[in-house]
Amino acid sequence: MSKKNPEETLRQMNETGVLGRFILDFGKIVGLMQFNMYHHYTADEHLLRAIGELNKLFSGKNKNITKLISEIINSGLSKKILTIALLFHDIAKGRDEDHSIAGAKIVKKFSKRFNLSDYELETISWLVKEHLVMSDFSQTRDVMDAKTVEDFSLKVQTPERLKFLFILTIADITAVGPGVWNAHKGQLLEQLYKETYAKLSGEVLDDDRSLRAQNKIKSVFSKADFNKKEKFKDWIKSQSDQYWLGLEDDIIFRQAEMFVKNFNNKPSIIIHNKKDAEATEVSIMSKDSKGLFAKLTGALSSMEINIVNAKIFTNSSNIAIDVIWIQDKENRPIFDDLRLERIKEKILNFINTDIKNGVSSTSRLNNRRINAFTVPIVVKIMNNISSNYTVIEVSGKDRPSILHELAKTINHLDLNLFRAQVATFGERVVDVFYVLDSKNKKIEHHNSKKLIERELLRVLSNG
């Protein structure tokens, strides 16, 4: 296998049929179609592309390389381990058995052919078995929730495994297809990596979060022209550590500036396009009220706007700060000033109305394409995911206004919404809500859980 470009060598072996004869299990996935809108390539092509993306990361040619990625790769990480793990990570696709578990077993059959040491075999088998876990945690969990970091740390166990899994996850996602990787996914992965590395290495204890938040405040606002104002000091006191650690510095600065200079208990909105970002950032500040998030998603859905992700915060002064990242129907940021002004107006109108009636919108996805796929609908209500909240995870077929309909139903069920995670995998959507009941308690009663499950399944079934 070429040390310079293993993808090139493996691709030649695959085209001549040698690779499928050398690894019989690889031969079984050659030309295997993955019948969904998320995966763009056959299973064998995806594996080869993932190895190619890994090679770009190690050679510095991947355009998504950040300082953290570069530091990890230059820390002596074994390219051999990662290359073999990527070669096998989806090798068991198309079987009845979980492909991650089956793939880990297949690795062990070929350990002698690859001259693997016990350490290499153990690490590669673990990576194949757990290759989806970092993507799942980062996209469907609140990565700033201490319980998320605790649970993920138990999965990973060592800083070295974390480094391997982080780089493998980047190569895997990037190789799925054009446009699947974006800066937002990268940011979530880096946040999860940093929090987990700190915990595993003992660099930062749980009770140091407040200190980190204070250091961030000093860093972000050291040169602000409004940092001496009483209104700004009130703003600082009212925010949680979760807020300070959960948003990027520039977003926090813009929101504080909006509060100090413009906010007077009436809804305020900032729309910002960052250079090279894949989505437009919308920050909404308002006195918190029941159903606010449902109204925001309703306003955006009515304008045929795709919601990529959302973060929801409420401070001790009962001010809601919601950040929503949006795209147009072609999955691009929105730059047109006139349209952005209309978006502001629509959001303000929706905030001041009730949400009894739904919104109408044409599909952000091609209905004919999406209707060709069957997507299982699932609702999970979990109290072991977060120490402070009940976590509701719903998954089903994506369609226009689905996030709005789910948020509206959560409001009608008299649940208080504190966090939302939005993830889309082709035709499948996975939305995660961190909630409490009307008394701000976790949802423990069996009948309450069944009611929530039934109502959310009804929404998912309407597509």
Q: What is the pLDDT of residue 362?
A: 43
Q: What angle do CA 405, 410, 414 make, to 5 degrees?
A: 140
204: which residues sit within 8 A by CB, 6+ positions away?
A: 198, 212
Cα–Cα distance measured from residue 409 to residue 158, given in angstroms and rounded to the nearest whole number: 41
Spans in the chain with pLDDT lower than 50: 2, 36, 361-366, 368-370, 372
Closest CA to 255 of 282, 279, 289, 215: 282
pLDDT at 265: 82
Residues 161 and 126 sit within 8 Å (Cβ to Cβ): yes
With 0-12 / 13-18 / 19 or more C-beta atoms within 10 angstroms meaning exposed / middle / buried, residue 354 is exposed
**Is the domain covering 6-201 a CATH 3.30.70 domain?**
no
pLDDT score, position 6: 86
Q: What CA–CA distance (Å, rounded) separates 221 from 364?
A: 39
Please tell me the predicted confidence (pLDDT) of residue 355: 60
CA distance linking residue 431 with residue 45, whole number of Å: 29
Give residue limits of the domains in the chain.
6-201, 205-259, 263-461
pLDDT at 113: 81
SS3 143: coil
pLDDT digits (tens, 9 = 90+) for 192-217: 999 999 889 887 555 577 888 888 89
Neighbour tally for 322: CB within 10 Å: 22
91 in helix, strand or coil? coil
pLDDT tens digits, one per residue of 89-101: 988 887 888 888 9
CB of 456 within 8 A of CB of 395?
no
Tell me how far apart the alpha carbons of residues 146 and 241 are, in angstroms, rounded to a whole number.
11
Strands (E), 288-445: 306-314, 319-327, 378-382, 390-397, 416-425, 428-436
Count the helices and strands in the chain (H runs, E runs). Answer: 21, 8
pTM of the entire predicted model: 0.83
